[in-house]
Chains A and B, each alone.
Chain A
Amino acid sequence: MAEWLRAARLKGIARYQYKNLGRLITWALLIVLTVQILSLLTPYVFGDPYPFEGIGASFEIVFFAAFVTGIITAGRSSRFLLRFGTSRTSVWLGSVFGQLTGMVGLLIGTFLLNMLIAALLFPLSSLLPQGYSMSAALYRHELTEGLKNLPDLLLYTLEWTSIFYLYGCMLRRFKALTISFSIGIPLMFVILMLIPAVREGLQVLRGDDQGQMMILGLKWLQILQDILRFIEEHWETIQLTAGIASLPLSYIVMRGTKQP
């Protein structure tokens, strides 16, 4: 095992991820910081009070970053590392580890930035009380709430990072199929929602029994509603299962991908 670890070039892969993901994460955090600072200026520019929304990590940013970096890591980065004759298992292991660490880092980074911005409200509230308000009690309360939500967000980050990495691997191996699937599934749902209305319209035009058609349409909508309700009720489990399943699947897909 020790010999394998020495030969696996994991140090080099980690260094590549550090250079590549590190730069992207730094940019993402800088953008978040700039936006936060600009929003801090709202009371000065518009005279409205600062819209403080509490302390917490920005999961939306991590979600988007995981999607973009998942595709880059599974695509161009893997290609670069494999081209030097690095084993596929090493590249997969290094990529997954780099992605997960990077996205967790970004999540914690956005949390810390939020903490910092909230802390800045202390001096600002004494300078311009009508624009900013912050007290030690409020800060403590918001921080506690934010920290309470953090483990859930960390879990979601790990799940979605794995899912998006699998998506990146699929995109590299079966490009046309993956793109068709990504567009096709949402399109299928839209079409399924529209089917009862279209059928109803057609039957009305033909002069069929409208009451009967309406019942059929309602039944159809009921089925769709049941499916959506099931997904909603079991969303956490579905997300967790998909996240866990994504890891071995991404290895299988990546291992069999032809290297140009």
Chain B
Amino acid sequence: MQQQNILTVDKVSRSFGKTRALKEFSIRIPRGQIVGLLGRNGAGKSTLLRIVGGMLRPNAGKVRINDRKVWDNARALGQLCIIGDTPDFGKLLKVKDLFFVCAGLFKQWDNALARALVKRFDLPENRRIKTFSRGMQTSLMLTVGLASRAPLTIIDEPSLGLDAVMRERFYDLLLEQSRKDEGRTFLISTHLIDEVARTLDYAVMIDDGKLLCEGTVEELQKGTLSVSGDAGVVRELTKGCKLLKEEELAGTLVRHVQLDAETIQSIRSDKRVRTALIGLQRLFVFLTEEKEAERNG
């Protein structure tokens, strides 16, 4: 029977000198979903991905893919394709050379898909890779990630160097591939949360090397609400709710709150105020600010 979680990270810590990049970090990544690893720059996302990809050894804790330890384990790493945030093509000169090597590296490599993606990303197949712009190189790396059809595909900062059109094209392709390859898991690390939010099934938020929260996008948004309207009414309705942030503009008060399902229903049915779910990015910002305030006493 297949494990429910394809990736398990258990109490992983990693330091670089005096800087602690990860502090007893634990997550379980469910199979067959698009998972977002969301965090600010320097939150520990890349360190975590390097540990998962077997490039870095943790100081403590365990990382397992399909219940197999990752460090220098070909059987576990054979399930994985990791695309880093810096394009690297070694000493390979042409796109066809890269695909030739990738076809040997990845068991499920789909050459037809790779060729189709090259066209979708408008990449010049016959030019030398080193003459490609940064955006083209990133697109080529993303092509490798998608065409690898690896059961666990990890992409670190897919948006770096890509223009808005190409970024949207990538998110569409990601959704397309996820639908086609049932059971395939994508772990996308990014700090551009709003952009990637529409593609995600599950989100893991990380801040200062620690887990901030995790869950399906619906779960995370379910207990939150932005309530706006007359200051007195908003205050009255949201009394007793956990306040994430309060903003006041020209007599209108906006309160972003965490609350239970019953209270949400009652507030939403009140015609005096306007309500909306808090977007993933805003929620992340509020939670991060809250933690920061806690740290600073």
Using CB atoms and an 8 Å cutoff, list the residues of chain A in contact with chain B: 3-4, 6-9, 11-16, 19-20, 23, 72, 76-77, 79-90, 255, 258-259
Contact = CB atoms under 8 A, between A and B. Distances in A.
Interface stretch (B96-104, B189-197, B271-279): B96-104
Nearest to A257: B55
Contacts of B144: 84
B196 to A, nearest CB: 21
A12 B54 contact: no
A13 to B, nearest CB: 7
A259 B50 contact: yes
Interface in B73-106: 73-75, 77-78, 80-82, 84, 88-92, 97, 100-106
Interface of B: 50, 53-56, 72-75, 77-78, 80-82, 84, 88-92, 97, 100-107, 144, 154
A83 B84 contact: yes
State the 6 A-B residue pairs at the shortest beta-carbon distance, nearest first: A12-B105, A80-B90, A7-B78, A12-B104, A259-B55, A11-B104
A219 to B, nearest CB: 49
Q: Is the interface of A mostly helix, strand, loop or mixed?
A: helix
Contacts of B92: 16, 19-20, 80
Contact of B77 (A80, A87, A258): A87
Contacts of A90: 74
Given A7-B75, A12-B105, A19-B91, 17 more contacts: A3-B75, A4-B75, A11-B104, A12-B101, A15-B105, A16-B101, A76-B90, A76-B91, A79-B88, A80-B89, A81-B90, A85-B53, A85-B80, A85-B81, A87-B54, A87-B72, A259-B55
A86 B106 CA distance: 10
A259 B105 CA distance: 18
A11 to B, nearest CB: 4
A243 to B, nearest CB: 25
Contact of B100 (A7, A15, A84): A15
Nearest to B52: A85
